[in-house]
Chain A
Amino acid sequence: MGEPVAAVTLPRRLRGGRWLRPLGLGLWGAVLLQSGISGRLDLLLRAVFHPLVWISGVVLVVVAVLELVAGGGAAPTPRQRRVLLVGVVVAIAVLLVPPRPSFADLAANRGRELLDEPGLNFVVPPGQRSLTEWVRLLRSQPDPKLHAGDPVRISGFVLHVPGDRPQLARLLVRCCLVDATPVGLPVLWLPGRPLPQADQWLELRGVMDTERFDGQTRSVIRAQSVRVIPRPARPLEP
């Protein structure tokens, strides 16, 4: 016979399910802070909102500690306890299961309207333009022949477009992943090589060219070298 285990007794102010509230608050604070520490924010939100998330995380953790130390009040009703428990479970799930979105899947279910961003930069040499800058430039100067022969060095994920050749694409966001809008450029992939898989991140070097598609002349990238890269830490572009 072993020694009887002493029952853990909570302070009075935490009995009757009162501990659930500080736990919930602390977990939500931890979710926000961990999103910043683990780099999730770069995947989910536009950078301008990151400080707000950090500050809110700190505030929630502080309030949770204050509730633990000085809390009290009425014990939660059974319904409130259920709500609190659901919140706790969801917060733990968010903490433990990181987001791994399929950009190609997300892009396939979105419109292709380009954000009206005035930030065109004509000074950047062609070889240093990002994919998004190329797309904006080509939409503002619709004559594809103007850029034929320009060197291209871009990175993005592979987006399969029904009825067209696979594109190299990026997601643009105004706010967060929810409003992500895909922008992409068609690519003449290396001959004799299998087409890349959807969602694969690639760095591509080549030259800008033109082709006839759907009765119109359009710009297309003629790939010269293709390299598989890991998803960048900040995959979303403003």
Chain B
Amino acid sequence: MSPERLATAWALFQALLIEAMPFLLIGVTISTLARWLSPGGKWVRRLPSHPVLGPLTGAALGFALPACECGNVPVARQLLATGAPLATALGFLFAAPVLNPIVVASTWAAFPNQPWLLVARPVGAVLIALVLATLLARLPETELLQPALLEERRLVLPLSRVSLLERRSGVIGADPLAAQALAAAPRRTPRPPLAEILGHGSREFIELASLLVFGCVIAALVQTLVPRPWLLAVGGAPTLSILALMLLSLVVSVCSSVDAFLALGFAAQVTPGALLAFLLLGPVIDIKLVGLFGVLLRPRAILITGVSAVLVVLVIGQWVNLWRL
């Protein structure tokens, strides 16, 4: 690599990083606040469980608790643990990382001249959430949710839905002392002190910033090292470009509040369907999320989520290419 090219790659890396970092900070601040507010209480159990209305409500909750996908997972866990209907919680888990003001603002900042993307991204995210919530809801909760989460959830669900035997812990449990403690525990966990919240937020920011660095390195190198004819050859092919950008989003694992800036680097060379695919798939599943989902879902459910999300995004991307090319 020539020194000029190396210097250009370094400048692109810095531009991406410095542009994205404020949006990452906003995203982490809001997800930390959402964690502090810790949604719980009876209203959560009154959310709709309808297969269509549930995911739509969950998706809309993104505007109230606007966190990126990383901050979203603990909030979704909290929703499930406090008895929210599966449909709503899954809709929130999969769509809220896109349907929130921070992500809409960063997408607009990166693509002010592509208003179709501002509509297609949230609509696509809702579609994916509907499909995933419908598929996952077909699994029994025992095969869907992590055992620890399931036990917490059964403690708050009404006895009309969960029998005493199913609760395992609580009134009837293996360890009588733990059962007494659980039964005596208040239903709502108290709000953690501000110092703890600050520590959590800064930990999250630092971890995500390192992922952002990794994503920016890849984006800057692809922009400067891969010859433009190659990029155009791959990026111009309708299906191949979608698959390539989906693979990239899985690897880069960058937060939904800043992924639009990384997409910006490829926007001129790839089909519109591929661009949308990059922006849709990352917030639902990527390498980093597979680890995070471990606190919520069982491996089989994670596999179903990954495969279904890839297929749905591929179809959406193809459809957009038919429409826009």
Do A and B form a real pair? yes
Asked if B199 and A72 sit within 8 Å, CB to CB, the answer is: yes
Interface flag for A84 (CB, 8 Å) = yes
A146-179 at interface with B (beta carbon < 8 Å): 174-179
The smallest beta-carbon distance between A58 and chain B, in angstroms, is 11
* Chain A residues in 8 Å Cβ range of B195: 70-72
* Chain A 179-207 near chain B by CB (<8 Å), digits 1 or 0: 10100000000000000000100000000
* Chain A 12-30 near chain B by CB (<8 Å), digits 1 or 0: 0000000001101100100
| Stretch among A49-57, A126-134, A213-221, A225-233 lining the B interface | A49-57
> Nearest chain-B residue to A199 (Cβ)?
B4
The smallest beta-carbon distance between A88 and chain B, in angstroms, is 10
- 5 additional contacts (CB under 8 A) given A21-B206, A178-B16: A71-B195, A72-B195, A84-B206, A87-B206, A178-B223
A87-114 at interface with B (beta carbon < 8 Å): 87, 90, 94, 97, 99-102, 105-106, 109-111, 113
* Chain B residues in 8 Å Cβ range of A174: 110-113
Q: How far is the CA of A97 from the CA of B3 in the complex (A)?
A: 14
> Nearest chain-B residue to A41 (Cβ)?
B18
Q: Which of B10, B227, B268 contacts A99 (CB 8 A)?
A: B10
Interface flag for B17 (CB, 8 Å) = yes
Majority secondary structure of chain B interface residues (helix, strand, loop or mixed) = helix
Q: List 20 A-B contacts (CB under 8 A).
A: A31-B17, A35-B14, A53-B21, A56-B25, A60-B25, A63-B198, A66-B198, A86-B210, A99-B10, A102-B7, A105-B5, A105-B8, A110-B268, A113-B268, A176-B261, A176-B264, A177-B11, A178-B12, A178-B220, A179-B267
Asked if A102 and B19 sit within 8 Å, CB to CB, the answer is: no
Most chain B CB within 10 A, of A64, A87, A113, is at A87
Interface flag for A3 (CB, 8 Å) = no
> Nearest chain-B residue to A54 (Cβ)?
B22
Interface flag for A115 (CB, 8 Å) = yes
A54-85 at interface with B (beta carbon < 8 Å): 55-56, 59-60, 63-64, 66-67, 70-73, 80, 83-84
Asked if B207 and A83 sit within 8 Å, CB to CB, the answer is: yes
Q: How far is the CA of A84 from the CA of B25 in the complex (A)?
A: 17
Asked if B205 and A25 sit within 8 Å, CB to CB, the answer is: yes
> Nearest chain-B residue to A117 (Cβ)?
B113
Q: Which residues of A contact B (CB under 8 A)?
A: 21-22, 24-25, 28, 31-32, 35, 40-41, 43-45, 49, 52-53, 55-56, 59-60, 63-64, 66-67, 70-73, 80, 83-84, 86-87, 90, 94, 97, 99-102, 105-106, 109-111, 113, 115-116, 174-179, 181, 199
* Chain B residues in 8 Å Cβ range of A87: 206, 209-210, 213
The smallest beta-carbon distance between A77 and chain B, in angstroms, is 11
Given A105-B5, A178-B223, A94-B14 contact (CB < 8 Å): yes
> Nearest chain-B residue to A236 (Cβ)?
B15
The smallest beta-carbon distance between A78 and chain B, in angstroms, is 14
* Chain B 202-229 near chain A by CB (<8 Å), digits 1 or 0: 1101110110010000011001100110
* Chain B residues in 8 Å Cβ range of A56: 21-22, 25
* Chain A residues in 8 Å Cβ range of B183: none
Asked if A21 and B203 sit within 8 Å, CB to CB, the answer is: yes
Q: How far is the CA of A84 from the CA of B8 in the complex (A)?
A: 26
Interface flag for B109 (CB, 8 Å) = yes
Q: Which residues of B contact A (CB under 8 A)?
A: 2, 4-5, 7-8, 10-12, 14-19, 21-22, 25, 109-113, 195-196, 198-199, 201-203, 205-207, 209-210, 213, 219-220, 223-224, 227-228, 261, 264-265, 267-269
Q: Which of B17, B210, B219, B228 contacts A83 (CB 8 A)?
A: B210
Asked if B202 and A63 sit within 8 Å, CB to CB, the answer is: yes
Q: How far is the CA of A131 from the CA of B5 in the complex (A)?
A: 25
Asked if A109 and B223 sit within 8 Å, CB to CB, the answer is: yes
The smallest beta-carbon distance between A25 and chain B, in angstroms, is 6
* Chain A residues in 8 Å Cβ range of B21: 28, 31-32, 53, 56
Q: How far is the CA of A70 from the CA of B109 in the complex (A)?
A: 35
The smallest beta-carbon distance between B207 and chain A, in angstroms, is 6
Q: How far is the CA of A175 from the CA of B11 in the complex (A)?
A: 14
Q: Which of A21, A24, A63, A73 contacts B196 (CB 8 A)?
A: A73
* Chain A residues in 8 Å Cβ range of B207: 80, 83
Asked if B8 and A102 sit within 8 Å, CB to CB, the answer is: yes
Asked if A176 and B15 sit within 8 Å, CB to CB, the answer is: yes
The smallest beta-carbon distance between A162 and chain B, in angstroms, is 12
The smallest beta-carbon distance between B314 and chain A, in angstroms, is 26
The smallest beta-carbon distance between A139 and chain B, in angstroms, is 16
Given A63-B198, A63-B202, A70-B195, A40-B14 contact (CB < 8 Å): yes
Asked if B8 and A106 sit within 8 Å, CB to CB, the answer is: yes
* Chain A residues in 8 Å Cβ range of B17: 31, 94
The smallest beta-carbon distance between B13 and chain A, in angstroms, is 8
Asked if B206 and A67 sit within 8 Å, CB to CB, the answer is: no
